Chains A and B, each alone.
Chain A
Amino acid sequence: MKLFYFILFLIAAPAYSQILITGKVTDKKGGALPGANVFLKGTYDGTTTDATGSFSFRTDAKDTARISVSFVGYETFEKKISLLENEISLTIKLEESASELNTVIITAGAFEASDEKRMALLKPLDIVTTAGAAADITGAIQFLPGAQRVGEQEGLFVRGGSGQETKVVIDGMIVQNPFFSSLPDVQQRGRFNPFMFKGTSFSTGGYSAQYGQALSSVLLLNTTDKAANNGLGISLNLANAGVNYDYAGKNQSVSAVAYYGNLRPLFALVKQNVDWQHAPEFKGSSLTYRLKTGKKGLLKVYGMYSDSDLSMNSRNPASESGKMRLDLHNRNAFTTSTYTDSWKEGRWALNSGLSYSRNQDNMSFDGADFDRFDERTQVRAVITRLLSGNNSVLFGAEAHVIHLQNTTNGKLYDLNDQYSAAFAETEIYITRQLAGRIGLRGEYSSLLNRFNAAPRLSFAYKTGKYSQVSLAAGQFYQNPDYRYLYQNKNLNYERADHVIFNYQIIKNQRTFRIETFYKNYAQLVREFTGQPFDADPYRFPWGKTNNGGNGYAKGFDFFWRDQKSIKNFDYWVTYSYVDSKRLFQQFDQSASPTFISNHNASLITKKWFEKIQTSFNMTYAFTSRRPYYNPNNKSFLADQTPAVHNLSIQASKLQTIGGNLVIFYASVDNILNTKNVFTYRYTPDGKTRYAVGPQSYRSFFVGMQIMLSKKAKVTKDDL
């Protein structure tokens, strides 16, 4: 009989009196949350909160139940409640879920261009389309805050640092030869096609323990994970002709590029300041293969090879003719493969890579051979563990084998270095408003036979919905210039200490960012020749050396971007100030090096004309006076060059011709034909001074890209 009653009870249950549950749902501050879903888990009983955040519903549940409240933008709330009374009243406060508006991001020192992160200050395409940058990544980066423009050399000069103090890193791997081989007083382009990358992070200091061997800056480039199914394309311009092919399948994709370039046609049209004997001629190819392995795994293999020839007469005041003939044949190969994977819903992630690069420069100066050779093999692995509440910790290690050779007049200089590093870093969110990143990097170089340990630290605090302040500090080590190490293997690392303070506000497509920094240089290499200063930048050091040098750099820079005020018009303004002195190299007293310009400013604008499908971009750049060496002046490096101005324009037009998309582009660099001077040099007797300027003054460039596949899609953002 008992069973019978039990069954009756079971079936009759709904007939029993219901319990009334009422209450209110608010945010942490007590503000009403209308639209929240309030219900008892496992039942149909529940309701949606009204305009005042209040709710009221009845339930048949007995004894206890779990009340659940969910609402978009807030963490789901759950609580066990007892249902012993007929009426229950609850007040429920929901916690906002983490989002960019309430969670701080560590930003000091980093200037990001990314499609994936919404807080990035620029998009990768902004870099490619900057006028005056000639579609060169470093060409565009040098307009960013913190960079100083040095027209006669390649490299990124960041906050008082020399070009050698910046490392270019692709998918975590250091690029040994990011630029085409250096020539006397002719700035070289970067080797990499900017369209290869989905994101660029330009660190102006205080960067993560994941990277080393750079006293000033790292430029982090991340290759795209996917190729568009664009099929065959052809690019034609005044300097080169190329074909590219992209194929994307479900799990794998391939991109291939081959090109031939010759600058003779361009040089015939644009007056050159350089006396070319053989205009640069180059051919090359690259291949990228990507394979999705499993759910999250991705293998990327990239390989490139290029071969270039040129010959020029460079000015040589020491010779009778005043000229020196330089021949250069360069062969460069770079391969890198990376494998990334993640497990347990992204809680564990692996980034690993293997890379090899090889570079051969066969050069001769007036017939005398001067060959350079280098190769670098590197492996790297980083494991990241995501913890609850945005916290994370990562560990990693890398190892490099570097081999360098210089042959000067039959004498061979040879160096081998095995460099390894291990690092650990953790990102801690103390609250959503306050976060810190603490890292430590340890390095060992077999060549120096020394260890170093470099701590890195950053903090960020969210000061408002759209604004935040950050602080970054750290120590950075770099091996001395290898040319010194050929002669002296007892040298130590050079060191820089950074402190950076940053404020930024991003609101409504307008960005303001200001950063101030102090940088201390220590253990810089000094060279003692017992002779007067030799300003020839291509001299081979032969004097005694030690690590007795030092220096500082301090300053600030700011950035303002506005994409909102005028429709289809985007502009940004940057200004950088730096004050720096050093005692290093052959200096016998502390002075501002020749690559320092106190003020750098630029204005970059982009305007899109919808009707004619054309984007029109303009860049104005100003670089203030720079010191140069005058042997006749008793005070060292006291003379200064005039300031450098450059106004450049660029236009791109999108058109469909016979069903194929075609992009036309044209640019004029230095449209005002300003006779810029980058530095001055003197003849050995000190009597004659001559100016070193750009390769050409006003110059222009035209070209087009044709996409032969009907599948190809292009929007204005590509222009």
Chain B
Amino acid sequence: MKKTSFFTLFVFLLCCKVFAQNEKYVQAMTATLKDMNAIDRSKPGTAALQEIANRFERIATAEQKEWLPRYHAAYCYVQMSLMGGTVLEKDQYLDKAEAFLKQAETILGKTSDETAVLRANLSQMRLAADGMNRWQSEGPKFAQFIEEAKKLNPENPRIYYLEGSGLFFTPEQFGGGKKIAKPVLEKALEKFSTFKPESAIHPNWGKMETEWMLSQGNQ
């Protein structure tokens, strides 16, 4: 009797600990995401985002079975590549992002629509880093990831945001421009209005940027 009660207590306490661990994870993720969204984007420099990326990396290293910290770390590095100075620095950020994405997909056991979207975003940034030399190699890659994401989940609004932003920054003579981007961005916004992330710590970015681009197009 005594032994069984001890055993029950042990199992209960252990569960608490596991539960506590999970709670700790969700808490850490939520807090980091909150801080990420609070970053003042108008301020130059990568320091604030680096701090967030580091926090995600620490969570990722502690939680070997979670893909989300890796996903968000990758997202941070993709964003940082926009701010990095030289092509080499941008590439180094993107290399790191790619490594995290690879880990995330290994944990998931597949490519999800969200990782495909982020991969498309990554290709876009590689292209932006050195457009003259990369449009041939990265352009088709971007299209391929977008297509893949659409197949996996056509309701993902970030697909259309990325497509729209690609057009937004393409000069008019090459088939881009604000006017052409507008319907695509509007479609993104429409999808955003019904989009519900799976949980508070799942990917949920792009709406603000879509709105900004649309506001620019209307000027």
B56 and chain A: residue at smallest CB distance: A37
Min CB distance A71 to B, Å, is 9
Q: How far is the CB of A707 from chain B (nearest CB, A)?
A: 12
Residues of chain A contacted by B35 (CB below 8 angstroms): none
Pick from B46, B55, B62, B96: contact of A42, CB below 8 A.
Answer: B62
B175 smallest CB distance to A (angstroms): 7
Contact of A35 among B6, B46, B77 (CB under 8 A): B46
Q: Are A99 and B88 in contact (CB under 8 A)?
A: yes
Closest chain-B Cβ to A57's Cβ sits at a distance in Å of: 10
Question: Which residue from B6, B17, B135 sits with its C-beta under 8 Å from A715?
Answer: B135
Whether the pair B58, A46 counts as a contact (CB closer than 8 A) is yes
- A115: CB under 8 A from chain B? yes
Interchain CA distance A645-B107 in the complex, whole Å: 65
Min CB distance, A308 to chain B, in Å? 32
* Cα distance, A118 to B129, chains bound together (Å): 12
Does the CB pair A100–B58 fall under 8 Å?
A: no
Q: Please report the number of residue pairs spanning A and B whose Cβ atoms sit closer than 8 angstroms.
A: 84
State A654–B137 Cα separation when bound (angstroms).
21
Inter-chain CA distance A72–B132, complex, in Å, is: 25
* Residues of B149-181 contacting chain A, CB below 8 A: 173-175
Scoring B residues 58 to 71 as 1 if CB is less than 8 Å from chain A, else 0, what string do you get? 11011000000000
A191 at the interface (CB under 8 A from B): no
Contact with A along B1-40 (1 / 0, CB 8 A): 0000010011001001100000010001000000000000
Closest chain-A Cβ to B129's Cβ sits at a distance in Å of 11
In the complex, what residue of chain A is closest to B148 when comparing beta carbons? A250
CA distance A123 to B9 in the complex (A): 70
In whole angstroms, what is the CA distance A351 to B98 when docked?
27
Q: Which residue of B17, B93, B174 is within 8 Å of A10 (Cβ)?
A: B17
Docked-complex contact A3 and B10, CB < 8 angstroms? yes
The answer to whether B87 has its CB under 8 Å from any CB of chain A is yes
A228 at the binding interface (Cβ < 8 Å) = yes
- The residue in chain A whose Cβ has the minimal distance to the Cβ of B88 is A99
Contact call B175/A713, Cβ cutoff below 8 A: yes
Which B residue sits closest to A72, measured CB to CB? B92
Asked if B203 CB lies within 8 Å of chain A CBs, one says no
Interface string of A88-112 (1 = CB under 8 A from B): 0000000001011100000000000
Is the beta-carbon distance between A72 and B93 smaller than 8 angstroms? yes
B206 to chain A, nearest CB (A): 24
Task: Return chain A residues, CB-CB under 8 Å to B88.
Answer: 99-101
Cα distance A632–B9 in the bound complex, in angstroms: 115
User: In this complex, what residue of A is CB-closest to B97?
Assistant: A72
B216 at the interface (CB under 8 A from A): no
Report yes or no: A115 in contact with B46, Cβ–Cβ below 8 A. Answer: no
A222 interface contact, C-beta 8 A = no
Query: A4-B6, A99-B92, A715-B174 known; A228 and B140 CB under 8 Å?
Result: yes
Whether a CB of chain A sits under 8 angstroms from the CB of B106 is: no
| B139 contacts A by Cβ under 8 Å | yes
A10 and B13: CB pair below 8 A?
yes
A213 CB to nearest B CB, Å:
33
Interface contact B58-A39, CB-CB below 8 Å: yes
Interface SS of chain A: helix, strand, loop or mixed?
A: loop
* Chain A residues, Cβ within 8 Å of B10: 3, 7
Given contacts A44-B28, A100-B88, A613-B173, contact A115 B137 (CB under 8 A): yes
B73-89 vs A: 1/0 string, CB under 8 Å? 00001000000000111
**A43 on the B face (CB < 8 A):** yes
Q: Which of B6, B51, B140 contacts A3 (CB 8 A)?
A: B6
A248 / chain B contacts, CB cutoff of 8 Å: 140
* CB atoms of A44 and B24 under 8 A apart: yes
- CB nearest to A13 among chain B residues: B17
Does B58 contact A72, Cβ atoms closer than 8 Å?
Answer: no
Contact A115 B136 (CB under 8 A): yes
The reply to whether the CB of B42 lies closer than 8 angstroms to some CB of chain A is no
B47 proximal to A (CB < 8 A): yes
Tell me whether A115 and B58 are in contact (CB under 8 A): no
Contact of A188 with B by CB under 8 A: no
Within 8 A of B (CB), among A1-58: 3-4, 7, 10-11, 34-35, 37, 39, 41-48
Q: Which one, A43, A48, A613, A717, contacts B50 given CB within 8 A?
A: A48
Q: Across the interface, name the chain B residue whose C-beta is closest to A250.
A: B144
A41 touches which one: B46, B61, B137, B139 (CB < 8 A)?
Answer: B61
Q: Is the CB–CB distance between B140 and A39 below 8 Å?
A: no
Query: What is the CA–CA distance of A44 and B89 in the complex, to the nearest angstrom?
Result: 27
B159 → A minimal CB distance (Å): 18
Q: Which residue of A lies closest to B89 (CB)?
A: A73
A72→B137 CA distance, assembly (Å): 24
Residue in B62, B96, B133, B139 whose beta carbon sits within 8 Å of that of A72 in the complex: B96
Contact in complex: B62, A37 (CB < 8 Å): no
A68 within 8 A of B: yes
Q: Specify which chain A residues have a CB less than 8 angstroms from the CB of B6 in the assembled complex.
A: 3-4
From A7, A44, A97, contact of B62 by CB (8 A): A44
Q: Report the separation of the CA atoms of residues A533 and B108 in the bound assembly, to the nearest whole angstrom.
A: 78
When C-beta atoms are compared, the residue in chain A nearest to B7 turns out to be A3
Least CB distance from B77 to A in Å reads 8
A10 to B9, CA, bound (A): 13
CB-CB < 8 A to A46: which residues of B? 54, 58
Q: Which residues of A contact B46 (CB under 8 A)?
A: 35
Whether B57 sits at the interface, judged by CB under 8 Å, is yes
A7 touches B9 (CB 8 A): yes
Structural contact, A68 and B92, CB atoms closer than 8 A: no
Q: A660 to chain B: closest CB distance in Å?
A: 12
B133 touches A115 (CB 8 A): yes
Whether the Cβ atoms of B173 and A37 lie closer than 8 Å is no
A531 interface residue (CB < 8 Å to B)? no
Whether the pair B58, A44 counts as a contact (CB closer than 8 A) is yes
Set B53, B55, B133: member contacting A123, Cβ < 8 A: B133
Chain A's closest residue to B174 (CB) is A715
A123: chain B residues at CB < 8 Å are 133
A37 with B137: CB separation less than 8 A: no
**A597-622 interface mask toward B, CB cutoff 8 Å, 1 = contact, 0 = none?**
00000000000000001000000000
Choose among B10, B46, B58, B88 the residue with the greatest number of A CB atoms under 10 Å from its CB.
B58
Q: Nearest 9 CB-CB pairs, A to B? A: A37-B54, A35-B50, A39-B58, A48-B54, A48-B51, A46-B58, A72-B92, A73-B92, A44-B62
Since A35-B47, A44-B59, A115-B134 are in contact, a sample of 13 more A-B pairs with Cβ atoms closer than 8 Å, ordered by chain A residue number, is A3-B10, A35-B51, A37-B57, A39-B54, A39-B57, A41-B62, A44-B28, A48-B55, A73-B92, A97-B92, A654-B173, A713-B139, A715-B174
26 A-B residue pairs with Cβ-Cβ distance under 8 Å, sorted by A, are A3-B6, A3-B10, A7-B13, A10-B17, A11-B17, A35-B47, A37-B53, A41-B61, A41-B62, A42-B62, A44-B59, A46-B58, A47-B54, A48-B51, A48-B55, A70-B57, A72-B93, A97-B92, A99-B92, A116-B137, A118-B130, A248-B140, A654-B173, A713-B174, A715-B135, A717-B135
